[in-house]
Amino acid sequence: MVLTLLKAKPERKLAKQICKVVLDHFEKQYSKELGDAWNTVRDILTSPSCWQYAVLLNRFNYPFELEKNLHLKGYHSLFQGSLPYYPQSMKCYLSRTPHRMPSERHQVGNLKQYYLLNAASLLPVLALELRDGEKVLDLCAAPGGKSLALLQCAYPGYLHCNEYDSLRLRWLRQTLESFIPQPLVNVIKVSELDGREMGNAQPETFDKVLVDAPCSNDRSWLFSSDSQKAACRISQRRNLPLLQIELLRSAIKALRPGGLLVYSTCTLSKAENQDVISEVLNSYSNIMPVDIKEMARACSHDFTFAPTGQECGLLVIPDKGKAWGPMYFAKLKKSWTT
């Protein structure tokens, strides 16, 4: 939605489209939760001309010429620091200045060479540490960017991409068709199940589970064109943590003992981030937090992180020259019960 706005209209008109109902609501909440950092975050979120888009190269149709051109334009490779897990097969480039390449058009039978995304959305994928041959579940998979990124990291033995929303499901299918070669499609299953039912449907099946949960999508909500609909969204916002917790409970059921789970959102909201994870950790004796502070240290060159009060959770906030995020992600492990 936001990408369409960016492409269609210059910032002068976009500024008029900022939804005051949403901005006022965020102002009250995030000025308390983020303190002084909110001023910079707000300035970037309300100024799409500051937004940056990373270029994830598709290893299944590698664009060598494009890679050369990106270098010439001043793009640099993401994650130049020493991340605990960073597969050489994943190549992502970003520019220090706001610049957006045109999207490739979907053509049946031709694989796209690159995918445009918010660079922070790769962090939850990397935190999952996918290895060749593993069974992995992307519980809320549309539009498909994180599933695609997982496949840039490793060749899973089985990838289950689930999306409950039928419109978003079509988007997911098209993303996979556009980037993934036919032989690999055979190890991918796409389903339209209510994510809250996945645990009962496939108990203790997966080595790794990604829960990129429905959330208050701060960037797109700020540009809601219908203020009445925006007000309705805000009133229903308090129900999101319950849904997120139910999705996590289902994901935990679907995860095998010894497996890893990553939870992520694209909101700054503590109620949908840290509070959700705290609730889950307090409810399960066999779910353990995994310390990911090292990821923040290794990525500080390209991302700005806000304190979360959690060793297992990180929050990327938009900053000047590093306009990625919001992106919260937390890493959990399911222990073997005796």
* pLDDT of res. 99: 78
Residue 37, annotated as binding a ligand: no
Q: Which residues are catalytic?
A: 266
Name the residue among 142, 153, 143 with its Cα closest to residue 60.
153
Distance of CA 39 to the CA centre of its chain: 23
Residue 120, annotated as binding a ligand: no
CA–CA distance, 268 with 265 (Å, rounded to integer): 8
Amino acid at 177: E
* pLDDT of res. 236: 87
DSSP result, 190-253: EE---GGGHHHHSTT-EEEEEEE-----HHHHTT-S-HHHHHHHHHHGGGHHHHHHHHHHHHHH
Residue 138 and residue 159 in contact, taking contact as beta carbons nearer than 8 Å: yes
Residue 146, annotated as binding a ligand: yes
Angle between helices 166-179 and 145-153 (to 10 degrees): 30
CA 96 to each of CA 9, 83, 138, 231: distance values in angstroms, whole numbers, following the listed order? 22, 20, 30, 35
Instruction: Convert the pLDDT of each residue in 189-245 to its tens digit.
Output: 999 999 999 999 999 999 999 999 999 999 999 998 888 888 888 988 999 999 999
Residue 163, annotated as binding a ligand: yes
* pLDDT of res. 3: 33
* pLDDT of res. 256: 98
Residue 330, annotated as binding a ligand: no
* pLDDT of res. 225: 81
* pLDDT of res. 6: 35
Instruction: Convert the pLDDT of each residue in 268-297 to its tens digit.
Output: 999 999 999 999 999 999 999 999 999 999
CA–CA distance, 209 with 276 (Å, rounded to integer): 17
pTM: 0.93
Residue 257, annotated as binding a ligand: no
Strand, coil or helix: what is 79?
coil
**Segments of the chain scoring below 50 in pLDDT:** 1-15, 338
Residue 33, annotated as binding a ligand: no
* pLDDT of res. 306: 97
Residue 207, annotated as binding a ligand: no
